[in-house]
């Protein structure tokens, strides 16, 4: 390997780390905002930040097709659906003190305990296993895989989506 | 770059989502917290796929995204129905099954 090749690899690794920690910090802050903020519309908009951050992590992992799908399905459709849900249930669009349960402290303890156990276990199990430094585009392999090995689950998911669509209409329509 | 960076991020997001499910009383906000949980699982799947250099993780993440879309559709339809019947989506008031 040439000297410049080594240098480029090191640069790439540093860049990946910098962007990982940048996106991860934004994501965690936005996720905490989603579960604590008093305004329900702001919670939906913070959810957009979390979902976009997940898409950015997918791109850093070389999974650009999943990242695109994430943006199209989540930010394009799911968040709009949430906003519709907020409007249709005529929630208070301003600040609302009534969004939280009374048992916030046990919930916080549960969350912290879960995070502690998960992080401690992960750190012990996967101590310092390194990622492969190169990531390459996988979209062609994903499509090959979906339409050969996973064709039956793929068709099942399309039927499931149709069933969910009809089910949602049946449940939500007026008599 | 360690595998653990992604796994720990996913674990933290998962715990935040669990806190949201437990601490919120508005049904739409509980559904949003469930979305955070599903996304953290997707980070795990894609990270392990990239680590093992297979696309199975990505394919599973795509399936999870499709199921999550169906889940949100049905969930919001149910929330709308509860709202229409009870004029409220406070989960503490949906207690018809209490003995």
> So what's the pLDDT on residue A133?
67
Sign of the CA dihedral with B48 first, then B52, B58, and B64 last: negative
Give the pLDDT score at A100. 80
Percent of chain A predicted with pLDDT > 90: 59
Q: Which of B5, B35, B43 is nearest residue A47 as measured by Cβ atoms?
A: B35
d(CA B99, CA B93): 14
A35 and A82 co-located in one domain: yes
**Is residue A76 domain-shared with residue A152, that is, in the same domain?**
no
DSSP SS3 for A39: strand
CATH code for the domain in which residue A61 is found:
1.20.120.1200
Residue A108 lies in a domain: no
Q: How confident is the model at residue A104 (pLDDT cuts 50, 70, 90)?
A: confident
Among residues A80, A102, A124, the one where a domain terminates is A102
Is A30 contained in some domain?
yes
> Do residues A67 and A153 share a domain?
no
Domain limits for position A156: 138-175
Give pLDDT tens digits for B43-80.
Answer: 999 999 988 888 999 999 999 999 999 999 999 999 98
How far separated are the first and last CA of chain B, in Å rounded? Answer: 54
Residue A111, chain B, CB below 8 Å: the answer is yes
Residue of higher predicted confidence among B18 and A93: B18
Residue A123 in contact with residue B34, Cβ under 8 Å? no
Confidence category of residue A175, pLDDT binned at 50, 70, 90: low
Given A16, A91, A167, which is nearest B74 (Cβ)? A167
CA B11 to chain CA centroid, Å, is 13
**pLDDT tens track for A18-62:** 999 999 999 999 999 999 998 889 999 999 999 999 999 999 988
* Two structure tokens written together for B31: 């559904």
pLDDT of residue A4: 63
A171 reaches B (C-beta below 8 A): yes
Between CA A41 and CA A28 the distance in angstroms is 19
Q: Is residue A35 part of a domain?
A: yes
Give the pLDDT of residue A147: 93
| Interface residue A93 vs chain B (CB under 8 A) | no
Name the residue among A50, A20, A19 with its Cα closest to residue A33: A50
Q: Which of the four pLDDT bands, split at 50, 70 and 90, describes residue A11?
A: confident
pLDDT at position A43 is 93
Average pLDDT over residues A108-131: 91
- Average pLDDT of span A12-17: 84
Of the candidates B25, B31, B65, which has its C-beta nearest A101's C-beta? Answer: B25
Counted domains in chain A: 2
DSSP state of B87: S
* Interchain contact, A61 vs B17, CB within 8 Å: no
Going by C-alpha positions, the residue among B75, B93, B5, B3 that lies closest to residue B35 is B75
What's residue A7's pLDDT?
A: 64
Same domain, A90 and A142: no
Looking at residues A131-144, what average pLDDT do you find? 80
Query: Which residue, of A58, A74, A102, is where some domain finishes?
Result: A102
Convert the pLDDT of each residue in A60-78 to its tens digit: 988 899 999 999 999 999 9
State residue A6's pLDDT score: 66
Across the A/B interface, how many CB contacts are shorter than 8 Å?
A: 244
pLDDT of B4-44, one tens digit each? Answer: 899 999 999 999 999 999 998 888 999 999 999 999 999 99
8 Å CB contact of A51 and B19: no
Q: In the predicted model, what is the mean pLDDT of chain A?
A: 87
Q: Is residue A92 part of a domain?
A: yes
In chain B, residues with a C-beta closer than 8 Å to the C-beta of A119 are 8, 11-12
Q: Which of A102, A123, A152 is the last residue of a domain?
A: A102
- CATH fold of B3-91 reads Helix Hairpins (1.10.287)
pLDDT at B16: 96
Asked whether the predicted pLDDT for residue A5 surpasses 80, the reply is no
């Amino acid at each position: 390997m040439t000297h410049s090749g080594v240098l480029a690899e090191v640069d790439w690794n540093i860049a990946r780390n910098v962007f990982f920690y940048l996106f991860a910090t934004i994501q965690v802050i936005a996720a905490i905002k989603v579960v604590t903020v008093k305004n329900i519309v702001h919670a939906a908009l913070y959810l957009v930040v979390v979902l976009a951050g997940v898409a950015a992590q997918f791109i850093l992992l070389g999974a650009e097709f999943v990242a695109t799908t994430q943006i199209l399905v989540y930010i394009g459709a799911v968040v709009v659906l949430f906003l519709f849900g907020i409007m249709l249930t005529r929630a208070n669009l301003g600040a609302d003190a009534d969004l939280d349960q009374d048992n916030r402290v046990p919930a916080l303890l549960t969350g912290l305990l879960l995070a502690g156990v998960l992080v401690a276990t992960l750190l012990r199990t996967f101590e310092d296993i390194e990622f492969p430094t190169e990531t390459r585009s996988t979209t062609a392999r994903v499509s090959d895989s979906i339409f050969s090995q996973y064709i039956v689950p793929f068709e099942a998911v399309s039927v499931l989506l149709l069933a969910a669509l009809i089910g949602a209409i049946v449940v939500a329509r007026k008599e | 770059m360690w595998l653990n960076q992604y796994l720990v991020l996913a674990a933290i997001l998962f715990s935040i989502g669990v806190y949201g499910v437990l601490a919120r009383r508005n049904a739409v906000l509980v559904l949003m917290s469930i979305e955070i949980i599903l996304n953290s699982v997707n980070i795990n799947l894609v990270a392990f796929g990239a680590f093992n250099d297979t696309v199975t993780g990505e394919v599973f993440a795509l399936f999870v995204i499709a199921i999550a879309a169906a889940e949100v559709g049905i969930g919001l339809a149910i929330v709308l129905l509860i709202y229409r019947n009870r004029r409220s989506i406070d989960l503490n008031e949906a207690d018809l099954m209490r003995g």
